[in-house]
Amino acid sequence: MKSPLRSFLALAALAVPVAASAQGDKVNFEKQIWPFLEKSCVKCHKAPYEEDGKTVKPKAGLRLDGAWAILAGSENGAVVKAGKSGESDLYTRTTLPEDDDDFMPPTGKADPLTAEQKELLKKWIDQGADFGGWEGNTEGKPKEAAPAPEKAPVSEVQELYKKLSDGLTAPKEDAWKGVTAAGGRVMPLANGSPLLSVDFRLVREAADDAKIGSITAVGDHIAQLDLSKTAVSDAGLKPIAGLKRLVRLDLNQTQIGDAGLAELKGLEHLHYLNLYGTQVTDAGLDHLRGLKGLDSLYLWQSKVTEAGVKKLQAALPDTKISFK
């Protein structure tokens, strides 16, 4: 727990920036954003360095120690989308519950951002993510005069997303107002993409079957769905059977069991399935035998046995099954 003095000093340090923000003044990245990013994030997200004879690389390939690096994003893509804080991981991950696996900064690594800091970060992104004259660390920055590199190979999943997007019109934002009202968060998979990512991580246990059922309104567009730590039941998975473009499904630490997995049998494009901490047994794994496109399956702390996993692995030899 922070001491009263520490809390007071933290608020005092933010008093001027927050006042400026409230007046609608433009957020100054170098003076108002960089100080807390450097303190809470850069330790794990900076240029590679040597430690104990080993090279330590930035987590997820993301560097936050330079303007160019922040814009380059991580190995998973952009983390800042100018004008769209709700689609920028640099901001949205700071707003998750602290025990969420994607919460930033990770618990124990650094102090979470304060409400004032998160509001400043949000406003800076919504104002256009302007760095002003700040460049930060330019080590490793590509030379602008250098010839264009060869196009990076497109991954199998990226090709799949492209295929699933063909001929699909992007839904209007009011199409998912029911999901938002139920506590879900909806974001386009990428700028201009008609595919959607939906999660209920901000409300978790408050998300029951009825609320999760709201996804049917945009079911044709959902490619990623995160129901981890929600109150979804086996019956609540029925709407998922209709998500024909679903590629990623996270059900970790829910109470779903064997009956619920029967709803997944027709998801031919499913590549990622997380069943960590669920009630699934060997019998439930039989429902997954036809998912030939499944690339990653997580079964830690479920009710399955080693024998059941071996049987499934024989049916899905190309699937990476994490069991122990």
What is the arithmetic mean of pLDDT over 226-251? 95
pLDDT(153) > 50? no
Q: Are 90 and 120 in contact (CB under 8 A)?
A: no
Average pLDDT (241-267) is: 95
156-322 architecture in CATH?
Alpha-Beta Horseshoe (3.80)
What are the residue ranges spanned by the domains of the chain?
Answer: 4-126, 156-322
pLDDT (tens digit per residue) in 110-136: 888 998 999 999 999 989 999 999 999
pTM equals: 0.61
Question: What average pLDDT does the structure give for the chain?
Answer: 86
Q: Record the tokens describing residue 80, joined without a space.
A: 């800042």
Query: What is the arithmetic mean of pLDDT over 192-219?
Result: 93
Tokens representing 52?
């104990």
CB < 8 Å & 24+ apart, contacts of 232-237: 232/207, 232/208, 232/256, 233/209, 233/260, 234/258, 234/259, 234/260, 235/209, 235/260, 236/208, 236/209, 236/212, 236/260, 237/261, 237/263, 237/264
Task: Name which of 87-101, 231-245, 257-271, 280-294 the model is least confident about.
Answer: 87-101
Q: Which residue has the tokens 């991954």?
A: 155
Distance CA 130, CA 266 (A): 45
Residue 24 has a pLDDT of 52
Q: Model confidence at 4, in pLDDT bands (50, 70, 90)?
A: very low
- The pLDDT score that the predictor gives to residue 144 is 55
- Is the confidence at residue 67, as pLDDT, over 90? yes
Of residues 247, 279, 284, the one with CA closest to residue 262? 284
